[in-house]
Structure 1
Amino acid sequence: MAQKKVVVLDYGSGNVRSAVRALEAAGAEVELTADPEKVMSADGLVVPGVGAYASVMQQLTKLGALRWIGRRIAGGQPVLGICVGHQIFFEQGVEHGVKTAGMGEWPGSVERLQADVIPHMGWNTVRPPQNSKLFAGIEDERFYFVHSYGVQKWEFDVTQPAMTPPQVTWSTHGTPFVAAVENGALSAVQFHPEKSGDAGKRLLANWLETL
């Protein structure tokens, strides 16, 4: 089987080389680029993200990448978000009282976790739904998290009977929060698969199998 071609979106986010290496280890042909043609033609697009929600949205907007990401999703072309690259697909992020609009693919507000220890840093278990493709074979594994904000309420209104609701994976740090979402061509994880050892490699390989 031919290698899947994956683009890791290069928009100024830090620590993306580890994501490139992890995807290569999982079996993909990977390029780190912000070339619109390559972004649109790749078998899969990975949107990484570290730092502040508002800063990531600003960088993506300045580059024009939100339009590319939106076009891929609308066309059924696979996209995977990681960490803040997961959070941007929700309606908004709230940091220090400042609200920043997200892409609005899913309902929910990214807000500070209600926990005694912040940030949530280290290994944690997740609770994936049955028939999850991302977590197939790794349902009981731990994954590596580094974040202070997350989506703690999920209210998805299926207005069309034919619409399949997204599959939501949960984790808990102080309070339950959304650890991953699988929604057709769009998937996203709050943790870092590239820092999650064999479990993270398997998750990325599972995603590549869906491309």
Structure 2
Amino acid sequence: MKKILVLKSSILDSYSHSNKMVDYLIEHWQNNHKDDLITVRDLAKDPVPALDQATLFAFGEETAMLSEEQNAARALSDELITELKAHDVIVITAPMYNFSISAQLKHYIDFIARAGKTFKYTEAGAVGLLENKQAIVLTSRGGVHKDQPSDLVVPFLTQFLAFIGINDVQFIMAEGTALGEEYAQQSHLQAQKEMDAIINTINISVK
């Protein structure tokens, strides 16, 4: 049995193309892998707060001087990291907003990027602490940006996921969703074929 964590990050709810993609993936995953456990966290409906100075200090060394708000922020970070570590496959929806990821997803990233928890510093540099995990990123965009300098989503998430130890990352795109219904439909059909291929062939080492 594999455990899959789905992170939704679109603010558009039922109008979201990335939500449409992940809903398809969840349905077909469950149909093909009935024993797998899927957990969904919607970062738009249950948002992680923005990182500020007080919160950043709370992520440091243990201290009895934390305020109630700092303790709550630290507890949320611990909860998110524990959840992340407990799953084998991480599915991330990453709609492109102004060429990059949504604020909702960025806030989540800021809360799970903690030294000693998801990465550590060594003499050779930072080393990710998450092992034996695979990430699938479902990214929708109104225009066509694949392999272009305008796409900041792919390089950023590739870099960050590697930073915390996740190097097995696959991106599936639905591009041109604002270029007309026919274009968007064809893009979703192609994305669905790619999702089907992953669902049928996925092989992840489970601790």
TM interval, short-chain normalised: 0.3 to 0.5
Of Structure 1 and Structure 2, which has the larger fraction of its residues in strand?
1
- Higher relative CO (CA 8 A, sep ≥ 6), structure 1 or 2? 2
Of Structure 1 and Structure 2, which has the larger fraction of its residues in helix?
2
TM-score, normalization by structure 2? 0.44
TM-score, normalization by structure 1? 0.43
